[in-house]
Amino acid sequence: MEKWEGFAKCPGCGFDIRTGEGERSCAWGDCPYLPEELDVFCAYCRFNFFTMEGNPPCEDPLSCEHAAEPLEHVENVRRWAAPRSSA
């Protein structure tokens, strides 16, 4: 099992790592415990490659030089969320 597959949000945390929305149980903007392999946001502009939402400065976020890593993480997030959404 990969380290990120066992990731669990803190008790009481309503932060949705897929959308970046929800009520957090802490004062952090982003989850400080989120494994890098589950981060689907562009490190430069915070475009969400899971939801394909945001306001990127580039014309095509999918061909942006910063897109490769978060795009690789999208499938990880889908796999991580699957058993949680069926529960």
pLDDT in tens, 2-46: 889 999 999 889 989 898 888 888 888 778 899 999 999 999 999
Q: What is the pLDDT of residue 61?
A: 95
Mean pLDDT, to the nearest integer, of 35-59? 95
CA atoms in the 13 A half-sphere facing the CB of 73? 22
Q: What is the pLDDT of residue 73?
A: 97
For the entire predicted model, the pTM comes to 0.85
Per-residue pLDDT at 85 exceeds 80:
no
CA atoms in the 13 A half-sphere facing the CB of 29? 1
Mean pLDDT, to the nearest integer, of 51-68? 95
Structure tokens at 71: 């795009």
